[in-house]
Amino acid sequence: MSLSLSLSHSPRRFLPLLLPAPPFAMPPRRDHGKQTHQRWKPKAAPAPAPAPAPAPSSAAVERMALAPSAAGAAQVWVPRGYATSASSSSSSAVTAAEQGGADDKLSRLIKGAAEFSVDNNTFTEAQIRATFYPKFENEKSDQETRTRMIEIVSQGLATIEVTQKHSGSLFMYAGHLGGAYAKNSFGNIFTAVGVFVLGRLFREAWGSKAPKMQAEFNDFLEKNRICISMELVTAVLGDHGQRPKDDYAVVTAVTELGHGKPQFYSTPEVISFCRKWRLPTNHVWLFSTRKSATSFFAAYDALCEEGTATPVCKALDEIADISVPGSKDHVMVQGEILEGLVARIVSRESSVQMEEVLRNFPIPSLDGGDSDLGPSLRDICAANRSDEKQQIKALLENVGSSMCPDHRDWFGYSGLEPQSRNADKSVVTHFLQAHPTDYATKKLQEMIGLMKRKNFSASFKSYWNYQKVDSLSNDNLCYKMVIHVYSDSVFRRYQQEMRKNQELWPLYRGFFVDVNLFKANNKKAAELSKDSNTLLRNINGALDSSLSSKDGLADEDSNLMVKLKFLTYKIRTFLIRNGLSTLFKDGPSAYRTYYLRQMKIWGTSASKQKELTKMLDEWAVYIRRKYQNKQLPSSTYLSEAEPFLEQYAKRSPANQALIGAAGDLVQTENFLAILDAQRDEEGDLQPERGTAPSSPTSTSLDVVSKTEGLIVFFPGIPGCAKSALCEQILNTPGGLGDNRPLHSLMGDRTKGRYWQKVADERKKKPFRITLADKNAPNEEVWRQIEDMCGMTKAAAVPVIPDSEGTDSNPFSLEALAVFMFRVLQRVNHPGNLDKSSPNAGYILLMFYNLYDGKCRREFESELYERFGSLVKMPLLKPERAPLPGDVKTILDEGMSLFRLHQSRHGRVEPSKGSYAQEWAQWEKRLRVVLSRNANYLTSIQVPFDVAVKEVLEQLKAVAKGDVKTPDTAKRRFGNIVFAAVTVPQADILSLLRKLGQNDGDVNNFLNGIKVEDNLSKAHVTLAHKRAHGVAAVASYGVYQNQEVPVSFNAFLYTDKMAALEAQLGTVNGEKIDSKNDWPHVTLWTAPGVAPKEANMLPQLFSSGQAKRVLIDPPITISGVLDFY
């Protein structure tokens, strides 16, 4: 089939090109601003013995040998070069005696490494071996991010790039020496599967040339220090949203590691790289105008609840300025269930670069498409069912020695057990203490040191680098370090540190570093120190500053990105798979609470919530009846879910739209990969537990029954007035406006474990409203409250003091000052926290620190997502003077002292630590400063009675179920059905009155249908998703919320319907046209007549079955264009 390129119209959909291009031309590269640095290099050591190639048996491991060690204690270790050719991996024979000596030496080295110490002659060199994009969290909500993305595209500063999100696992490959990696691990079944799939892709692409090209590819990655990242999609590693029809991978990033900060290829560069090596690429769409950008987001909103691969790709192809189909058709290899889309800001030059790359690098042919590729991934896994090691061994042997000549990352070295790969935990300490040899090492020390000091939830696991085993000696140690971030909150906190220090390197996802610790003799150590210090002075900041901004974009704009997932995928993964633990452990009621909470968080439309509730309740009954008390494994949940969904979809078109696609189930039971330890889908070790999130929280509060309970709790700080507020609520006549009894439990008067007491009280009377009068400052407490909600069938609502917060704490310094001032005004406090308490200031600082790491938006969003509602208690007046300097100073001093005390003594009381004298002096000065500023601290507070009144109103709304999403919550994207111009109802009624005054028949008709009572809304439909398609509806996105003049020139009616004929005006000089043949406002239809039937009025008039009254001159009313 002959396909050609057309650039003459938009959208430009690039299909296979027939333009000649050199098959191995290098992709165009941009100048990354890298500098050539002279570094001291030790005298070349004797060439080490080549690394052995693995044989099909375990004997391969036994034949590996150590190279002869350099003689003389004074000699310096010589770092082994990275630019190693593929041929260097050829095997060499060794005698049994030599092998035994090597084994003993390696064992001694590993045991002796614990004695390694850092002195002034200790140096370290670190090089990133594999990494994926940094995980950037947008400062703003998704809606604000979308708006900002459209703005900068409209200004011509950038382009929006959209790619498909394939449902698989992250796999990174840096060559056979550089290594194969999952998200946070290596040397396991996940990476073995990745290597096999990548090798098979080469066979498909290159046919008989595959072994040669695999070796060249490995050599190319090694010499150029490049890592490729792929989305690995297989049916053997556990279920995601849909079992793929074929096992495949798609390249998502190419990273040039170099000897500095990693540089990520642009998408045009990724495509040119992949087409050179015949690797699969993703489907890419570019939106470079305001109209196409707004249309894209509108298209997603129209498809978010029903979108599958075919309609999504079709709509985006119609809207995009450029569409580049992927090498792997999602429908053909994965199926119709599409996880989502990733939209990010890229260079404004991307469109031009993409056109150039697509001309110069046509889609390559697949030479191995018709040849025998050998056993498939599923065949191999099915034939090797004994254990994980057997499957790994079979996969690596089948992929061949050209692709994977060395198996040491999986099986270790010289018969040593795999666990011997783990190195001593002191590696990180030694790494931070040693002298850096280059700029990259210094920046990595800076990053890791910061994360350690801040106690970020991350690990820095070190393993012996068996690829460098030939170079090991007592004074030269080589490791692989895995930087594993446990929580997404770490990325947010690290970003806050980057805003303070713009020279910090980003924190990457999938982060692996080669670390070399070595000692030099005095002379060479002096040279190294001199050279490295000069180098660091010269280049410190230069490399990063040149890359800190691009194309006139601020840093935060250049990193804007949103992930947009589809409900058809989330039904399977979030609602079914992730809910299995809750369903089987806590029962159907708790499961219902769980999935309703998820849908509320997503902002699922009411109609879809109703449909999903019916379907998921039926699923719960079906699967529990079938499995009784034995939980369905999450790794194979689709074996049961897919047949259920298929049968459910067959019942009605509505069910089919809800499910998206079902059927064609791939049976995996016979070839699923075997895991010796439980891991998640990215290859991370995890304990045996269910996959559901923390225990279920409240049900959707707009459907809270009066037979259910309510827990009111306070994520605050002492002095936030929670006890006074609880007292006011208890004394309010009528309570919260319903007949449920109120009960308060004060923390300071409760002995024992407070939250257990609350749980016990709630079990006695689960339907009442509980006021939990105790500060609830952390996630551990929030989880306990969630548990109570699930066990006692209750909803929960957090009440928080309203405060702007700082970039790392949800409470501002002004709020902290007010809380301290209030506490120091108390007398005879039941918890002994009052003016007589010698360490009152310290205690408040301790509470304040419990919230450290979360900005206000993150704090409020998390609470809302957990509990579905949020009540804010007014605290500070909007119009107020700035915080006095002496108050700010005393608070800053206290926080600095607190950090010093905590780092040395932990939770020891301040009077018992080494800073006891400093604490006593600070507490005294705190009281003096706050007393001196008493008038200010009193004047900036909202009066307590006003605050109580506002909180009561909000709580009553929660109790009734009349809850509004707080301002800080994430915007709820609805499922767009149509675009329309809405005109004010009052203006339409005024027009009709004038018309009736001039025409008796019209007046009688309008009075007969009681138009004044029955007209609830008036709009001119522009396009409907079902009738005109998603792209047509989305095309109005550029005009959303704009005023549109609408002229009405006729009134048409029959005994069954009535409408006003409309003519649309312009917005910014552009004519607004309706996709309907007859633009109109439907005013009324008789019972049983659908509103869309009003479209027939012109034909009915032509046939004499309707009346038409001219409006002359036409009356113009302004309306607003929006989506519905």
Q: Give the integer Cα–Cα distance in Å for 51 and 56.
A: 16
Tell me the angle at which helices 439-453 and 522-539 cross, rounded to the nearest 10 degrees: 80
The answer to whether 641 touches 572, Cβ cutoff 8 Å, is yes
CB 658 within 8 A of CB 165: no
User: What is the CA 85 to chain-centroid distance, rounded?
Assistant: 38
Q: How far is CA 806 from the centre of its chain?
A: 23
d(CA 483, CA 607): 44
For residues 486 and 459, is the Cβ–Cβ distance under 8 A?
yes
Catalytic residue among 165, 183, 480, 872: 165
Alpha-carbon span 29 to 40, nearest angstrom:
29
HEC secondary structure over 835-864: CCCCCHHHHHHHHHHHCCCCCHHHHHHHHH
Sign of CA dihedral 399, 403, 405, 407: negative
Sign of CA dihedral 1023, 1029, 1035, 1040: positive
Of the candidates 565, 567, 562, 566, the one whose C-alpha atom is nearest the C-alpha of residue 343 is 562
Dist. CA 614–CA 658, nearest whole Å: 11
DSSP calls for 940-959: TBPPHHHHHHHHHHHHHHHH
| 3-state class (DSSP) for residue 323 | strand
Cα(893)–Cα(564) distance, rounded to whole angstroms?
44
Q: How far is Cα 403 from Cα 414, in angstroms, rounded to an integer?
A: 22
Nearest one of 454, 423, 434, 499 to 137, comparing CA atoms: 499
Backbone angles phi, psi at 601, to 5 degrees: -60, -45
Nearest to 42 by CA among 376, 516, 564: 516
Beta-strand pair 180-181/248-256: unpaired
* DSSP, residue by residue, 401-425: TTT----HHHH-STT--GGGGBPPT
Q: Given strand 180-181, what is the order of strands in its sheet? A: 180-181, 169-173, 226-233, 248-256, 263-264
Residue whose structure tokens are 């200790």: 122
Q: In 722-870, which ranges are continuous DSSP H helix?
A: 722-730, 754-764, 779-792, 813-823, 840-850, 856-867
What is the rounded end-to-end Cα distance, in angstroms, of the chain? Answer: 42
User: Is 38 exposed, middle or buried (CB count within 10 Å of its CB: 0-12, 13-18, 19+)?
Assistant: exposed
Nearest to 1082 by CA among 1099, 1055, 1058, 1111: 1058
Parallel, antiparallel, or unpaired: how do β-strands 1107-1123 and 978-982 relate? Answer: antiparallel
In our burial notation (b when 16+ CB lie closer than 10 A, e otherwise), range 929-941 reads bbeebeebbeebb
Closest among 904, 797, 805 to 853, alpha carbons compared: 805
Phi, psi of 845 (to 5 degrees): -65, -35
Q: Which residues pair with 746 in a beta bridge?
A: 773
Q: How far apart are CA 274 and CA 364, in angstroms?
A: 10
How far is Cα 620 from Cα 615, in angstroms, rounded to an integer? 9
165 is catalytic: yes
Which residues, at least 6 apart from 58, have a Cβ–Cβ distance to it below 8 Å?
A: 393, 411
**Amino acid at site 250:** V
Q: Which residue has the tokens 């008709």?
A: 1005
- Alpha-carbon distance of 657 to 76, in angstroms, equals 69
- Catalytically annotated residues: 165
